[in-house]
Structure formats: C-alpha cells, structure tokens
Structure 1
C-alpha cells in the first residue's frame, strides 16, 4: 500500500531533513519513493515582454495607435 506525505524542505549538506511530524511514519530501512520538485529562482525573473508591458518605451516621433488607424 502506498501512503503519501508532502512537505517543503531545504537541502543541507546534500541531505533532506524529514520534519518531526513524519518521522514516526518513516522507519530506518523503509523503501520510499522520492519525487523532487525544484523551485527555480530564474522562473521568478520577468522576461522582456513582461518588462515592456509594465514599462513601455516612449519614442518621440512615432505614431500612436489612434494616429495609425485614422489614416
């Protein structure tokens, strides 16, 4: 029978610390399956489209949308 527990942890010295609340369920020598979902810090970075959407570049002498479609 499979039983699942989920928790967040940081890797320290190559080890994942199991929270105290789960240690009773897990015994030395138990066969377990570990799935690691890594939160990438780079995914938090904005891409160029996000940046330009939030901070449009103002260029003098360029027609705006209304001026383009009024012709």
Structure 2
C-alpha cells in the first residue's frame, strides 16, 4: 500500500511541475511578445516572397504574348 501511495505522490508532483511550468510560460509576457513579433516577421517575409514569385510569373506570361 505504501508503494502505491508513493507512486501516486510522485505522479502528483510531476503533474504539478508540468502545470507550474505551463503557468510560468504564460506569465512570461516578454518572451511571448518576442515570439509573436518573430512569427509576424516570418509571415511578412513569406508574403513578400509569394508576391515576388507572382510578379515574376506575371512578367514571364506578359512577355510571351
């Protein structure tokens, strides 16, 4: 019985540790803001690349006519 109780205590501690880590990550506003800013930059870069490809395709099609 004491082994079962110890196993349950260990599982509860592990679960509590995961929960505390998740809450700490949510409260780290500076890091979350930096990550959001970086994601925004990646989206802008992807959009610019797509627009560049579209412009090249349009130019090639226009020149063929």
Scaled by the length of structure 1, what TM-score is found? 0.30
Scaled by the length of structure 2, what TM-score is found? 0.32
